[in-house]
């Protein structure tokens, strides 16, 4: 992507005039990858991107979804970490990276998870898939169901490992979605991605995400490589309360995927900052309700509102609300009645639904009659 186009894309995504962009913040770095994406996790602001919706082979990035499903099964009590899994011949024979499990031996779910997440074991991935769903094929169907639920609409899985298949693909944007879901839903289990080594069967293997050794703020996530996919890396880092996720797919070497990921993360942390402006259910304002059993209702947001902006621009932020006219009962908690608009230097950069924080029931006949007259006079 041309650097001038990159900066215009970035600032269009942020809602900031291009003229301001030219002087306030440099363009994103040039990244040698088939596709990439850098996003702030809290605000979902895209800070740099190239073909984020392009379908690409994910290689072992696939295992982020495999682990996500196992995490859900553990949380729901369908399986336990202490469960012993009998290793099938298929799992034992799976080619590629391995944790070196042996056929017909019993291995705990906890050890298989470590073998998959830390050592990127294809054998462990298949063993877990079979334990959860009965077969890898059935597990792939489960993967696709979760992908659709998470909004990964340009993704299709046929296996739990990422071994090449023409019908096995995803995108940088979709990989971000499952990574975000993992971090949000399973913060304790996510810590597995920061473990630097694991020894199984007297064989010690290091985590293939070399960023864990080079940047203390990095706490995940996953590498991937096949000849067709190239070298891929999803990285997540947190500095001063700001979490960024980068995805690079299709680089030409291990060094390249590390270099490009560091370049993206450093760019995001150096030139941007994220602020939590309002919390979910914070009362932002109140408004008149007609025909109700009370005259006013508190208004706020259904979710926390974060904004990512160029550094040293916080004093140029402004928030305002737009309300629907003549709001009438019955009114349900969470029902949209307007918008919260965030502006930077006078330009709108974010809009979120303004919702009722309480239920308002219909008033009695007298209240409705009075309000009908008052509404006509308003």
Tell me the C-alpha distance between 208 and 200, whole Å. Answer: 16
E-assigned strands of 190-346? 197-200, 203-206, 218-226, 230-239, 242-251, 272-278, 285-288, 296-300, 305-310, 317-323, 336-344
Q: What angle do CA 152, 144, 194 make, to 5 degrees?
A: 70
For residue 72, the tally of other CB atoms under 10 A from its CB is 19
Told to judge if 82 belongs to the known catalytic residues of this protein, a careful annotator would answer: no
Told to judge if 60 belongs to the known catalytic residues of this protein, a careful annotator would answer: yes
For residue 219, the tally of other CB atoms under 10 A from its CB is 20
Told to judge if 255 belongs to the known catalytic residues of this protein, a careful annotator would answer: no
Tell me the C-alpha distance between 219 and 261, whole Å. Answer: 13
- DSSP conformation letters of 245-287: EEEEEEESSHHHHHHHHHHHHHHHHHHEEEEEEE-TT---EEE
Contact call for residues 354 and 338 (beta carbons, < 8 A): yes
Cβ partners under 8 Å of residue 117, min gap 6: 63, 67, 192, 193, 195, 222
Can you read off the two tokens belonging to residue 2? 């041309």
63, 88, 125, 261: which is the annotated catalytic residue? 63
Contact call for residues 204 and 46 (beta carbons, < 8 A): no
6, 34, 60, 88: which is the annotated catalytic residue? 60
Catalytic residues: 60, 63, 120
């Amino acid at each position: 992507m041309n650097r001038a186009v990159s900066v215009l894309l970035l600032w269009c995504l942020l809602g900031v005039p291009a003229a301001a962009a030219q002087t306030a913040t440099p363009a994103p770095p040039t990244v040698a990858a088939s596709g990439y994406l850098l996003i702030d996790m809290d605000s979902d602001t895209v800070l740099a991107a190239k073909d984020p919706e392009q379908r690409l082979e994910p290689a072992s990035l696939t295992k982020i979804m495999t682990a996500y499903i196992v995490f859900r099964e553990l949380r729901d009590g369908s399986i336990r970490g202490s469960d012993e899994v009998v290793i099938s011949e298929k799992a034992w024979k799976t080619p590629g990276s391995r944790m070196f499990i042996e056929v017909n031996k019993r291995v705990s779910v906890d050890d298989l998870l470590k073998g998959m997440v830390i050592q990127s074991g294809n054998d462990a991935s298949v063993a877990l898939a079979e334990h959860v769903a009965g077969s890898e094929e059935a597990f792939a169907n489960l993967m696709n169901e979760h992908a659709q639920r998470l909004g990964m609409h340009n993704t299709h899985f046929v296996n739990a490992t990422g071994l090449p298949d023409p019908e096995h693909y995803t995108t940088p944007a979709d990989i971000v979605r499952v990574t975000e879901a993992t971090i949000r839903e399973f913060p304790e289990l996510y810590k597995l991605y920061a473990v630097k080594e694991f020894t199984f069967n007297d064989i010690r293997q290091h985590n293939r995400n070399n960023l864990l050794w080079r940047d203390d703020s990095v706490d995940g996530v996953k590498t991937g490589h096949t000849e067709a996919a190239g070298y891929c890396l999803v990285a997540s880092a947190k500095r001063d309360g700001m979490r960024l996720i980068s995805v690079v797919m299709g680089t030409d070497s291990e060094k390249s995927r590390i270099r490009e990921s560091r370049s993206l993360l450093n760019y995001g942390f150096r030139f941007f900052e994220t602020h939590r402006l309002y919390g979910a259910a914070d009362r932002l304002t109140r408004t008149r309700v007609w025909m109700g059993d009370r005259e006013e209702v508190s208004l706020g947001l259904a979710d926390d509102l974060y904004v990512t902006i160029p550094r040293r621009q916080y004093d140029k932020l402004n928030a305002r609300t737009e309300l629907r006219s003549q709001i009438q009962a019955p009114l349900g908690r969470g029902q949209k009645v307007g918008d919260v608009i965030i502006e930077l230097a006078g330009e709108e950069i974010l809009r979120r639904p303004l919702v009722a924080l309480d239920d308002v029931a219909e008033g009695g006949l007298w209240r409705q009659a009075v309000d009908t007259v008052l509404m006509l006079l308003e």
